[in-house]
Structure 1
Amino acid sequence: MRFPVGAGKRAWVAVLLTGVLVWLLAAGVTAITDDLILIPTLFLIGSFLVPVTVVTFALARLDDCRLTSNVVLKGFLAAGTIGVVVSAVTEIYLLPTGAGPVGNALGFFGVGLIEEVSKGAVLVAVAWRVAERTVHGGMVLGATVGAGFAAFESTGYAFWAYVQHTNDHPEMSILQTEVSRAMLAPFGHLTWTALLGGALFAAAAPARGGFRVTPRVIWTFLGVSALHGAWDASYGWGIWVTQGITGNGWIADWPDGTYWEGVPTQREQWTFQGMYDGALVVIALVGILWVVHSWRHGRHAATSAPAASPPVNAPPRQP
């Protein structure tokens, strides 16, 4: 699969804008007609819009990243199906279910470890036979794997929002869930798996096969897992800080969503939103700066790499 030169580089813009228009149209028609048949359309378009835009971006840069469309599409689909299912099953049976500071902390950061392992395994599996590995290729493929994981995961969250509000404007609940997840998607799974993919490709042998575990891979994995866990824990931390600031007292415990056992006041709501959004901005900024640094490092490595020399017994070039 190849896009026309020039126009192909901007195809992701057309996909994004067209998807937004179709998504809003489907939401409007569903709200007016109450036609439940259109609900799955809202699920799919809203959940897959940003991830598919990322895949379109990657497909237009296959030559630049030394990837093939087969690898990119396999990574997207495998992460969204096998990766999501394996992560869910593993989290159910391995993570603690008890409350308390230790259980909550292990729960948040355990999810980060498990899901990053799942996405990393998918990336290695689909890229095992990639002939030429570059840092940029690993980052683009990693972002695609993260996009597939995020798309199918967001579909589940949208369905859960519909189930919870079946008799109370479910269309608005679906839209709110999908808008928030679509806006945050580039700074979550896509960023974390892009970083891990760049590290894995940088450490891999240049020939097919030969993925290696190096200190950079280990530290990158631990770093993105920590960002993932902090992202998931930010909601509880927002409540914890809000209660301390608004005078309800600081609780010496790992924060979670059960700290509000009633309807928060308007001041508490505004304070919480500021704390929660601020935490997400900080975590997202760390990820963005890390991605920029890794991308520049990959560009430097590509330009400074020596040209491959011909085999010793290679026949002489013909004049």
Structure 2
Amino acid sequence: MKCPDCIYSNPEGVKFCLNCGKNFSSEDEIQDPNQLFYEFASYVDGIPRNHRSIVPNIKNIFSRVFRKHSILEAERLFIVGTAITTPKIEDVKETWPKPWLFARVFIFALLTFLGLHIGLIWFQNINFLPGLIVVGAFAVPLTTLIFFWEMNAPQNIAIYRIIYVVFIGGILSMLAALVFFNLLKNNINPITIGIVEELAKAVTVIYFVRNQKYRYILNGLLIGAAVGAGFAAFETAGYALRSLLTGSFETLYNTLLWRSVLAPGGHVAWAALIGAAFLRARENENFSLSILVKPKFIRIFLLVVLIHALWDTDIPGMFPYGHSILMAISWVVAFRMIQLGLKEIAEKKSQLPEEPKESTVTAKIISKVKQP
């Protein structure tokens, strides 16, 4: 259906133009002033669930990354998660999503970083330095976070909430880590660093997912990734500035480069695993400390602490080969959590009461009519 005003090709059946907003319906047909928005939200809500992959393999999951996508298609993704656009559980697909927006976010961040680099190095304008550090620190953690956001099949968390958790959760987890480090005083080693930082992120993640609003494993994965992204970005920005003050621009760029390369398998993935493990252990219960001692949570938390501790050791070959292996382990577990999250959705859908068949309804009506 082409819009007579902007000539945009709309899907059949819509009552307004998805490009310019022109109303295709007559005024008599609109009884609810919010009707058009509801229909738009319903249509948009279905977009991210199209093109789902049933077989969980890398080729299928990332098959849409290199396809052409319109700006409108990207804008539709950011509408999900509100009170109106969150789908009912029976409408959620339990098959694997096919994320693609995260790749575009990375490209945008890379182009921005390149522009800041040109301003700083070629034009020797120091005003570009803060932006270069911030963009360099946030680029990959944010990209990884968007990937987890696209994998959140329930689509019940708005992008506004995610941004909030990135900044507030990131700084809260860092402050909590500093408090724990001060308690340890001089007992700082790779093991205590792993325990302290993962405990700080765990406390923060649990704070955000403690209520029943976030009840899916995939929700915990996403909220955890948001906390981890904030933690990773703030930490990288600090290390980058320190490397510049104690070294040179070369050390600054090396710090940003390697921390960005390793970021997907670091704090973002670790906090995501903790969040997913917590909601998996909680199931449908209200929050209680007993959840923290359940094997489903303890196993993942200890695994994350172990990975983090090994990450910070000075074992020969740990950088970058050991880090690459640890990244792979983190992502194998992350994909396993995604698989469990999709399975959880399928189980919840199977527990929904079946709608009565038409014949049964008809029989009940006839029986009531026949009653004197």
Q: Is the 8 A contact 1:196 1:221 kept in 2?
A: yes
- Which of 258, 275, 295 aligns to 1:180? It is 258
Match of 2:223 in 1: 141
Match of 1:161 in 2: 243
- Which of 273, 296, 304 aligns to 1:224? It is 304
Q: Is the 8 A contact 1:11 1:57 kept in 2?
A: yes
Q: Is the 8 A contact 1:90 1:114 kept in 2?
A: yes
Match of 1:199 in 2: 277
Structure 1 CA distance for aligned equivalents of residues 319 and 102 of structure 2: 30
Matching of residue 12 in structure 1 with residue 102 in structure 2: yes
Higher helix share: 1
Structure 2 CA distance for aligned equivalents of residues 35 and 224 of structure 1: 42
Structure 1 CA distance for aligned equivalents of residues 222 and 318 of structure 2: 32
Encode CA deviations 1:20-39: one digit per residue, 9 max, x unaligned: 01101211221123322221
Residue 19 of structure 1 aligns to a residue whose secondary structure is helix
Match of 1:255 in 2: none
Residue 189 of structure 2 aligns to a residue whose secondary structure is helix
- Which of 118, 124, 127 aligns to 1:28? It is 118
Distance 1:70 1:120, change over 3 A: farther
Residue 128 of structure 2 aligns to a residue whose secondary structure is helix
1:50, distance to aligned residue in structure 2 (A) = 1.5
Structure 1 CA distance for aligned equivalents of residues 318 and 151 of structure 2: 38
Distance 1:19 1:194, change over 3 A: same
Q: Is the 8 A contact 1:95 1:107 kept in 2?
A: no
1:303, distance to aligned residue in structure 2 (A) = 1.5
- Which of 283, 288, 302 aligns to 2:326? It is 283
Aligned residue identity for 2:138? F
Structure 1 CA distance for aligned equivalents of residues 219 and 176 of structure 2: 25
RMSD of aligned Cα (Å): 2.8
1:296, distance to aligned residue in structure 2 (A) = 1.7
Alignment of 1:243-282 (within 5 A): 276-282=319-325
Encode CA deviations 1:81-135: one digit per residue, 9 max, x unaligned: 11112212321441535xxxxxxxx611111111111111111111223424111
Residue 237 of structure 1 aligns to a residue whose secondary structure is coil
Match of 1:131 in 2: 213
Q: Which runs of 5+ in 1 are unaligned?
A: 98-105, 239-273, 311-316
Distance 1:60 1:287, change over 3 A: closer
Distance 1:75 1:221, change over 3 A: same
What is the TM-score of this pair, normalised by structure 2? 0.64
Match of 1:47 in 2: 137
Distance 1:122 1:93, change over 3 A: same
Q: Is the 8 A contact 1:132 1:208 kept in 2?
A: no
Structure 2 CA distance for aligned equivalents of residues 57 and 285 of structure 1: 16
Aligned residue identity for 1:284? M
Larger Rg: 2
What is the TM-score of this pair, normalised by structure 1? 0.73
Aligned residue identity for 1:222? L
> How many residues were matched structurally?
264
Aligned residue identity for 1:114? V
- Which of 293, 296, 307 aligns to 2:351? It is 307
Matching of residue 294 in structure 1 with residue 337 in structure 2: yes
Distance 1:11 1:291, change over 3 A: closer
Structure 1 CA distance for aligned equivalents of residues 337 and 117 of structure 2: 39
Distance 1:62 1:220, change over 3 A: closer
Q: Is the 8 A contact 1:66 1:133 kept in 2?
A: no
1:136, distance to aligned residue in structure 2 (A) = 1.5
Encode CA deviations 1:69-89: one digit per residue, 9 max, x unaligned: 354233211232111122123
Distance 1:15 1:70, change over 3 A: closer
Structure 2 CA distance for aligned equivalents of residues 177 and 276 of structure 1: 13
Encode CA deviations 1:274-319: one digit per residue, 9 max, x unaligned: 5532211221222122222222222223323442459xxxxxx9x9
